[in-house]
Each structure stands twice: as C-alpha cells, then as structure tokens.
Structure 1
Amino acid sequence: MKRSTLPTVTFSVTVFFFLLLPLSTTALGSSSTYAVVSNSNTVCALISGEPTQHILCYNTRLNTNFTLNPGVSFSSIAAGDNFLCGIRSGGYSLLCWDNIGSYYESLNPKRIYLNDTVLLENLSIGDTQICATVNGTNTVKCWRSDVTTPENEGFRSISSGVGFSCGVAIRNQRVICWGRDPVKSGRIQTGFGNMTMVSVYAGESHACGFNTTGNLICIGNNVKVPLNLPNEYSKVSLGSNFTCAMRNSNGSVICFGDGAERFNNVTDKISFESISSGLSLICGLISSNLSVMCWNPSNFSRIFLPFPEILPGPCVVESSLCSCGVFPQSDKLCSGSGSICKTCLSQIPIPIPIPSPSLPSPPQSPVATAERSKALRGGLLAFAIVGSVGGFAGMCSVVYCLWTGVCLGKKKVHNSVQPTITRGGSNSRSNSSPLSRSITFRRQGSMRMLSMRRQRSGTSSMKHADKAEEFSFSELASATGNFSLENKIGSGSFGVVYRGKLDDGREVAIKRGEVNAKMKKFQEKETAFDSEIAFLSRLHHKHLVRLVGYCEEREERLLVYDYMKNGALYDHLHDKKNVEKHSSLINSWKMRIKIALDAARGIEYLHNYAVPPIIHRDIKSSNILLDSNWVARVSDFGLSLMGPELGKDHHPHRPTKAAGTVGYIDPEYYSLNVLTDKSDVYGLGVVLLELLTGKRAIFKNSGDVEEDCVPVHLVDYSVPAITADELGRILDQRVGSPELGEGDAVELVAYTAMHCVNAEGRNRPTMTDIVGNLERALDLCGDSHGSISSGICSIVSDRD
C-alpha cells in the first residue's frame, strides 16, 4: 500500500509540470512575436506600445526598416525561406507576404485562411510548408504542401523544419512527423520512438524537445547535446545544424553545434525573454529593454536591431486567462488593448516513476491514510529539528573560526575579497545584504579593521588569487629617492605617483596618498586606498594595471604598481612635449585603434567577468597607461564600485555623490545620481573621440577674437560631424588621412563612439558590443575591402 500511494502523488506533480512548460517557444519555423526570414536575413517583429500590434521588418543586408500592413494587429508571426506569415489578432485570418528579401515600397499580403468560427493558433513554418493548429480541437492544417497531414490527431506542440513538420500528439505524448521529405521526417519520428514528450522544435535536419522529466532531447543529423539536468532549459530554437536553449534559472542562452558555441560567453551574461532562429541567424529578445539582438554562427557577426520595444508575447483580451500572472507594463505594451501573459516557471518534478495506467493504485482506507499523514508529519518535524541543530552548530563553528582568526592565516596580505560599499552619507562600513559575509583582520601598525565582503558564490574569483606584498615606508622612500620631484610621473585618485626602483631591481610606480591633517581628506584617502587594494588584488587581466603591493604605516598610505614605461595615453595625445612629435608611434590609426581595443577589453573584463561586476567610474585617457610594449592597461580604481550582477540585479547604484572627471563623467549619472555600467561606456566614448580628433575632452575653440575662445565639450564638437558624414574635417591631422581599409575602420570607431556618448544610458552599447566593433575595426586596418554601417554591429572573437 505504501508503494502504490507515493507514485500516485508523483503522477499529479508531473502532470502539473507538463502544464507549466511553455508551449509557444520558437524554433526554425515556430511562431513568436518576431521571426527570421532565412534567405534574406530579414527580421520582422510585432511592435509594442502602438494602437495596433503591427509588423516592422529590418533587412540586415540593406540596413532598411519597412512596415507590413500598419493598420492590422497580429498575435504571432513565423517565417520561411523567403516569406513571412502572421495570424491576425483573434486567430480568424492568416496572411502571408512573399519575396520579403527584396525590399519594395509596398508588399501586398496574400490571405491564405479566413474563418470566423474555426480559429487558428500555434503557427509553424519551415522552408516552404505552413502549418497551424485549430483552437479547440488542436488538429493541424497545412498549406503550400500537397503532403497528407495527420487526420483526427490533436497536437499540443507543432514545429516545421526543412521538408518536414513534427508535433506532439495529445493522446499519447508521442512525436509524429510528416512532410515532403519522408526520409527525414521518418528518421526523426523513429528517433523519438516511444518517448513521452511535452514539446518539439524543428531545425533544418534535426528536431529537439522536452520529455516528461524535463530533459532536452535532440534527434537528427550532426546533433551534439550537452548534458542537461531536468528542467535546466525552458525554451529552444533550432536552425541549420545548431541548437540554442534558454536556461530556466536566469534566462541566459547556450548554443551548440555549427560554431554557435562561440557566442556562449556573450549570451551567458544576458537575460532573454525568448529566442528565435532562421537557418543561419539566431535572435533573442533581451529582457531588460525588449530589444532584439541577433548573431550569426557562420560569420560570427552580431547586431542589435534598430527596433523599438518588441512585444514579449501576444496581447490577450482576457487577463484572467493568464494563469501565471501578467507581464509587467502589459497595459503600456499593448497600448490598452489587452494584456500579455507571463511565462510560467516550471518546477523540477520528483524523480519517481509514473505508474502504469493498467495498474491503478488500490483504494486506501481513511484510517491508513491518516496514519501515513501522521507519520509523514512526524518525519518532517524530526527532519526540521535535526536540520536546525546542524545549522546552529555550523554557524557556531564559523563564528569561532572567524573570532580566533584560524581561518584567516597570519600573513599580512590583502586577500581576493570585495569591499563593502558604503551607502547613504555615513563613512562607516556595513553589510546590509543578507547574502554577504564579512570578515575582519588586523594589520601591524594599524588598529583599524577593514570589513570585506566575499563574492556571492562564497569563493574567490580566482582559484589562486595573487596576494599583494606589504612594504615598509622606508623601502618605498628609498626606491623613489625620498619621493623626489624628478621621480614624480603623475597623480591618481588619492595621491601623487612616483617612479621607483625596489631593492631587487624591479621598476615600479608608487602612488602616495597626500598627507592631510583634516579628517575628511583622511577618510577620502582611506576609501580610495581600500578600494584600489580590494579591487586590484583580485583582478588579473593583461589590460588592467597590476597591483604589486602596498604600505600602511600611521597616516601613510601607498600603493605599488607595475611600472608603465610609456606613460599615459593623455600625455601622448595632449602633452605639449608630445603634440608636435608627428613621428610618435601612436600617430597611426592602427595603433590608436589597438590602444582603444586594449582599454575596452580591460573594461569589458570589469563589467562581465569580475564577480561581482565592477564599475570603474573614472574612465579617461589619463587612466589608460601604456607599458613597454605599448599594450594599454586601465588604471586607478580609487573611485570604483561594485556593480549589479547581470541578469540578477538590475537596480542601479545610487552613491552618495557623483564622482568622476569633468568632460568624461556620464551626464545622466551626474544629473540623476544613478550609476550603471553604461557610465563607463560614456567615458570610453569620450576617449575614442580623443583618439579620433586629438583634442581634449574639454578644449577651447579659437574664434576670430580672443574673447571668442570658449570651452567646448568634445562630444558637442564631434557628434554633429559624425552624424553629418563629415568625419574627415575633425580627424587628428597628425595621423594623416586614413587609407582605404583604415578609412572603414576609423568610420566604425567613430560610429561606435557616437553611440557610446548617447545622452541616455539605455541607448549606449555594452562593453562587449564595443570590443566587437573595435576588433572588427582593427581587422579592417589591413583590409581594403568591406563597408561599414552606422548601426551598432560587432564581431565576437576569441579573447586573448
């Protein structure tokens, strides 16, 4: 009796799992709110916030937008080899447009279905075949194909590939396939065999689906499926020999097959609402701003489409139909004409076998049921008591470990940990986040204890984090000739920088905090000092300046870095000693683009690969240093703060006051005091403009008379010229006119810079986009062919 009762409970849980799995996910030819026309790489989407949910298309080859039937609302669309179809809102009509790839002023649709009583849903299109299910009966109808479709069979999920279509039958949850290519459809149906499936998605020569335990199963040619746990993925999209799946946990996307894996380091950092594919193009709807990003496994290109916000789902009139709630701002997205249902989050089923329908569970007596319930409650209570005792003991062990210092060791080093960010106007440090853990430790010569916060994962970001050396003040004074003026090479966020040579012969740069008796200055110096140590001691990247060590004695605070032989980028561009040197190594467009790419890679590391992410807050040309090999490195982390983890926390920082440098500081951050990683993007955009024009971030524009010399912001000077296609008149004359290939590269850098300095942070590209553009620009310097669009497009390549 006990054996027969538990599986019965499991069966109900598993059925609940079936019902929660999303069915409207997209494959090569499944319907969505956006679709890819394969042969022309045209992407069409349903636009939100309009009185009608009309279709807007973008041809990636012609860089052209065009609208289809602007006065008609559609609930979903799907695309084939060179055509697009859409089901009108209400499901009573199906319209199709042919020759989408050849852009015309007017494309007239063909109505291939009209019935006010038999409504359509679940549109599916492969290369030429069009199929849809009928609302209510879930039977399938197909057009533009003389192939016999399954009769009197209801389907819970259908999808079409090249030459075949497949569906999951409601009666037995088996996959059934049909189409003009009987060999392919038969092979895929046979591959799924008797597996019970929840959904199916078709590609060019393969199909994938979720089985009843939540695992992703793929059948067909050239299919490589990574190991996956039950319910790890929720949405799938297939194309030509590749498969992309969206994770349930955070909405990120992983792709495999046909070279698509190369983008996983990018899509793993972004949260998507959905994904959709053509034969060679993958697109995803980004959750944060409902924009569409597409990438191509064949040529490794990536582009953000110039669309307004896209509908994340169809607008339905009855919000009561939304069993898992309504999508945020649905009323605005549907322009008051309906609501968008939120996708249900499925739960992992309990891994217990489903009982055979031919062996029903014997009836249970009320007494036996009550006894089992009592026993179950007693077991759970015992489990809770034991768990509580164990948890309390564990907490005591941790407290003892931290209190005695056994866990911390005795070496005087800064470990690879993250400082707690002070909020509000207080100068004290606190751990306000329930997820963070703090540790304290003492240093010789100081009774101050620095509270540090570990990463959310509870481990260091590096397996073997380097540890900063501790120097004595006398060592560093000796290394710099007692901080002589002749060894002074610059200044940083909290002090003066000197060149020095240690006793072991190492050349270093030593930053000495300004000694000031005023408490406020001392506290500011402490904050910058702590930030630099905490960040740089755990950051390891070839385009970030490396921290060698530190000194902390009484009121002296010093930091020791690798020496950058070729100084700051600012000096090469603007210092009077270097301005007249036309033979300078950086007076070539290729070198300037390389320096920009180096710096961008360093910032990209901070934003995307540091855990948690870091916002620099003071990106400028004087903080981009050049080593002996002219490799650029980002420096000065005295103003840096931890940023929100991508896909987990979209709340911006609100520091006590805006910080940065005039001319480089993000105007949105300065005026609203809202900090995001896009503030660093703005600063880098100004640096890119410096590299292009050779002018300072703020410079005086000479007029006819001396009184007309007024300060001009480099953004105000450069952007109008770039927009008007007059880039040539603002380029730095010291570098000379770019060659043909260089001209394309310089133009791409200019357009990238223009987008970086957009007044609104949400309209700026990410650092990954910028790195991709600069990589492409550097490649173009040695290539005399190719054209550059003003849109933000980037090529993702392997990082160094």
Structure 2
Amino acid sequence: MRLRLAAAVAVTAMLAVLLAPARATGSASTIAIAHGTDIVCGIVARTSPRSVQCARAGVADAQPFPLLPNISFSSISGGRSSLCGLSADGTAFFCWNAANSSSGTLPRKRVYNGPVALEELAVGEAQIAAVDRNRTFVQWWRQYRGFPSNVSGSYSSVTSGRDFTCAVNASGSVNCWGPGNRTIQDAFASANMSTIVAGDSHVCGIDVGGSLICVGNNDTGQATPPMGSAFEFGSLALGSNHTCAIRRANGTVVCWGGGTGGEYTPTNSTPFEFIVAAGNLTCGLTTANFNVLCWGTDRKDPAVTKLQLPTLLPGVCTSSQSSCGCGLFADSETLCSGSGVICQRCGVGVVQPSPRPPSPSSAPSTPPSATSSTKTNKRWLAFAIIGSVGTFSGVCSIVYCVWIGVCKRKKVHNSVQPTITAAGNGGSHAAHSSATGAGSIVPSPFTSPSGSRSRIFRRQGSRVMRRQRSGPSSFKDRAEEFSLSELAAATKNFSLETKIGAGSFGTVYKGKLPDGREVAIKRSETGPRAKKFQEKESAFQSELAFLSRLHHKHLVGLVGYCEEKEERLLVYDYMKNGALYDHLHPKNGEESSVLNSWKMRVKVLLDAARGIEYLHNYAVPPIIHRDIKSSNILLDGNWVARVSDFGLSLMGPESEGEHLSARAAGTIGYMDPEYYGMHHLTVKSDVYGLGVVMLEALTGKNAIFKDEDGNPTSVVDYAVPCVVAGEVGKVLDARVGQPGLHEAEAVELVAYTAVHCVNLEGKDRPSMTDIVANLESALALCEESHGSISSASMSFASAD
C-alpha cells in the first residue's frame, strides 16, 4: 500500500512538472491583469533588475509605465482592482491599487517583508496566499473572515478566486479554504489533480490522466470544457464567466463560456506560450516574438489588440534546473539576465508520464494474459457499478439539499419584501420624495463582486455567506400593538424629561413598559401643526413594513407600534449609549472615553456597514436606507452599533445598472451628489452616506462645519485631498491620539475606503460587501499586538 501511495505521489509530482502551469487572475505568472480594470502588467525579460511594466488594454497605443523599476521580480498575480509582485528572492512582495491609478502610476504598498522565501503568489478578491519555497505551509495575508492565517502541508498550484483559495496537496487531492471553499473542494473530491487554476467562482485543472476538469459556477458555460483527448490542453486562463486553454499540439487558444455557450477560437492560428485572464479580458504571450495580445469575450468580434509592452518573460525564472522535467526554454539564461533559467513547456502532442520502474514483486515484464485482462475488466465493471450507485446517491442527496437549502430559503427571501403602498414611495425629511419605475440594483461593480453566478449555489449561497458574515439575522414575530394609553404611561405622558431625540417623522422618548423593558418610542406630530400628515403616515408605514419583517444584529429592533386615530407611534429597543453623532461631537465638552480609541471607532463603523450590507444584499429587492448619517447609527448597552430610522427607506431596483427616479430626500452633507443633483437613487447612495460617516469618525468634524474663516465646509472637501496626498495624519481627530503601528495601517485603510465611498459617481464606489471586508481587515489590524506580517484589505491604501 505504501509503495502504491509513493508511486502515486511520484506520478503527481512528475505531471506537475510535465504540464504547463495553468495561470489566471488568481495564480502566479509573469503576466497579470487587475480584475475590473484594463491594466495588464508583465515582468520584463533581458533586463536587470527584472522590473514590471504595465499598459492599458483598453487604450490604443497606450505607452507602458513601470512599477518599482529598481526591484527584480520573479512573478506577479492579479486580484480585484489590484496587482501583487513577488521579489526575485521571494522574501518580499508588493501590491498596487490599480483602481486608483493616475498619471501612469499605481499606489503601492509592501505587504510582506520577512526571512522566509515564498513562491506561487495567488491574489484573490480580498486575500493573498503563497507557499514557502520548502513547501511546508500555505500562508494568507489581508484575509477576511473565513480564511486561516496559515496551514501546514506540502501544496502546489496555489490559486485564489472570489472567496476561496485552493491548492493541490502531495497526494493529488484538492484542498480549499475560505467562505466559498466547500463547493469547489467537494466537486474535486474524487479527482487526482496535477494543476488547478481559479477564475472568479469556478476552477479548472488537469488531472493526472491528462483530462481537463472544470467545477463551480457554470452560468455561462464556463465550466463546460470542450471534449479533448488526454493531455490535449496545457495552459489555462479563467475569467469571471469564461475559460480559455492552449492546445498543446500547436499552441493555439480555444475559449468557452462567456454567455453564448460552446467553444470558439479568438486568435485563429496564433500560437501562445501561455495565457492569463481576469473579468472579461484574456491576454497571452505569443510564441513567435513574445508580444502580448489581449481580447474580450465577444466571440463574433473578440477585438484582439496588441499591447505596447517590451519583451516579457515566457515563464518564471528559477534557479533550480533540476525542476525542469522537459529541459530548458531556449535562450532562457539570457531571458533571465543570467540569474536563473525557464523550464521548457513540455513537448508537442500528447505527453505521457515517464514509466515507473517495476518493483521486484509486481509489474510483470511480459504482456498480461487474457485471463488477467478478463479479471481486470471484471474489476473495472464492478468498480463502475459501485461508482454509478454512489454517484446516483450523491446526486439525490445534492438535489435534496438544494431543495431544502434553496427553495425554502427563497421563501424567506421573498418574505423580506414588504408590501407598501404609500410608504413605498415616500417619507420625508427635507423634501417630498416619490419613486417611479420598478426595478432594482444588485451590488454594482468597482471593487464589488461581479460576474454571473449559478442559480443555486452562487446567487443564493453567496447571499447566505454574506448574511453569516454580517452577523446574526432572523425573522421575528409580528410586532406588538400597543394602545396610546400604554405608551403614554411608559413615557410619563410624553414628558419633556423623557425626550431623547427626534427622528425623520417625530420625537423620540425613552419609556419603560410594564414588564420592565426599556424602549424608545417615536411619536409623529399630530394636530394642526402636522401639515404633511400624509408624509408622516408614509414614513410610519415604511418603518413598520421594513422593521417588522427584518431582524439583524446591526439594525435597531422594532418592538411594536400604535395606530389610534391620527396618532402614529413606533416602539424600538432602547439604545443605552445613544447616537454615534453625540460621541463624535459631544456638547459641553463631554468626552466619550470608550469611543476615543481607533479600535472602537473602526468597530462601530464595521457594525454599521454590516447592517447596511444586510439591507443591500439580503433583502430582495435591496432596501435603500436614504438617510445614512452618524445620528442614525445608535449604540446599545454593549456598544454594538445599529442602523436606525427607516422612515425614508425605499425598495431598490432588481436589475443591475438601473436606478429609482426619486426627488432628493435625506440630510445635507450626507446626500449622494448623483442623487441630489440628478435624482438617480441606487444602493450606492447609502455607500456615499457611510463614506461621510467614516470621514466624520476619522476627523471628528461634522459633515458640514465652519472652517477657520467661518465658511461652511464639508468633511469630504476637508479630508479627501489630504488622504489622496498620503497625508492622513493631518486630518485625524486629535482627541483620539496618534494611532499605533498596526492602528496606523488600519486608519489608513479606513481613510482610503472612505475616499472611494464618496466618489462623485455611484459606479465608482465600492459595494457594501467590499466595505465590510475592508473594515473587518482594519479591525483585525487594530487587534494585532505583535507579528511582522499584517493582514489588511485589498484596497492597498498607502504607498511605502
């Protein structure tokens, strides 16, 4: 048994050398694409140091620009709007924020600088993975919840996707980590793989028998490869919804998926050394002259363009010639500038593993007899029958799980959608509002997860994943109905001493119910002074409709309501520690010692972001709050932040790219300029409001405040120029004090996230899912007390 296992491991290792490495946006290579951008970068050949140069694929004759020209790199990898490069000695890697590029430069940050040499850098959406050169562990940086810091074991072919990282272990099995790990890992359960590569949410690879296998999201046919013989395909490249492969016999490219199904050849007969992909873009290095050609997923017109990049390396330079199972690449020492060699891509046509030497007690030297062959066939027949039964059972189990986990969950999703008549169109705060058109927004691009998802596992499953990450949530029983006399008694007849604030449609009082519960009671204006009773009614119905159906740790809980004649009251859980606004802008010099720490401020922002993420990503259609501000972020007795005041909330459109046409409503200083000026309301309007709150928490300034000359100034105009210039420290709230070593990186990350949130155009703002990931990473940094390796998000906030 041990001999067979050793032989299997040997064959797996041999095939890993024989097969051309598979590359994509989340795998190490010498060319990489920043997902969500048109920036393509590569490691320059025949130069010392081996620097990285980039060009824009979407710009004709775009001139290349360098990244850290004085550092020599071995490989690079692309993630969502980002690129990372591993130094030639493997002891450091840098990352660049491609979404924040200007004037041919990309903001950079050194993420790792340590004594252990790394290789196989694999950048995902919000995580970076690599193995040590001795292959004893896999480690992650800038990971969000769901990824380990490291795992022990010998792994190869490390690759990262949207919310998972996978690798092949020494026995050929696939191991995956992260929130989305199980779907991919389980799909490879019976496979013995040599290499794998990840796209956005699907994975393809070559098994030890030379077969091409794809698993995961298959919405557009990207996980349905063309039929081919063993070892027909070599280098692979996976985008968001398409897959490409090189035919080993002639180096030509075949692609599939992308929305219309079937396979197509985008570059005709051009042979390539390897290809990479990200989003809807694929690029390859031609065999003839090492030119970089790029194309899209339109099979009728892939629009192949040539990038104006210098000669790039056709493979990773390695100092170990013994790892090159098929010899050295022609002139590789010159290409590597005398500091390494490149392994030759294995032969033309079908490549079979080298025969294993027979053991003394096995492997007969003569051809097997007919009897032996018959026995073997019977064994295979028995194996096939047992396998078929097992497969059928597995399929039945999957169908049952899908029915239980999706169909029933779908009922829950539908119950999120309240039926609102007048409330659906309104609310008031500063102006009338009305919504026309039905339709919706699923989280949009920028750094947000994009791309199609399977109807079962990705669309529903991803929402469940986000729901779990955002904290506990459930559906509560119907809200209690109170009488006016009960609530009057609870508030001492709505006396002034019990008044604690005001909401979007009335005054808020603190009350105590007969059973001892402390509550907050919001009472709308009544009588002749209520000139806009219909608007107040709409706001009341809106909050009642939304909060009676939604329950989440970071949303203020609705206890009950009262409707008597013209009286409209809502009863909430009492938030003992008041509003975030009051702690950031205390009156009479009253300082909050609890919120005068960067860790607590980041934690409160994260809580609020999780609540908003729940509204945007879990509700169907999404709920747009419309009045995100620091006074609507309340703190309970445990300093857990909750989003409140849904009087202006509306249900958003369901189709990506659509918007509601609604008259502006909200609070000056927090309102989305696109919504305020053009009346285009999307979930990104809430993102803008949260961005202002983030700047408020960082600076201690009001959303609108008077500068030294007494002129009204917005916190956006005050803070953003300093953050963009890399001078975050100039605008930080002095009451909190200077951040420590790890806190400084966390605060910097929050600041750059906030800058993205307050972009003038909604399409350029991140999704709430991305914001939550960044704030989770920032909080993790604040909690770090020791360690040389930091874990922050993929925003790569500052430059070293």
- Larger RCO (CA within 8 A; separation ≥ 6): 2
Q: Which has the larger radius of gyration?
A: 1
TM-score by length of 2: 0.50
TM-score by length of 1: 0.50
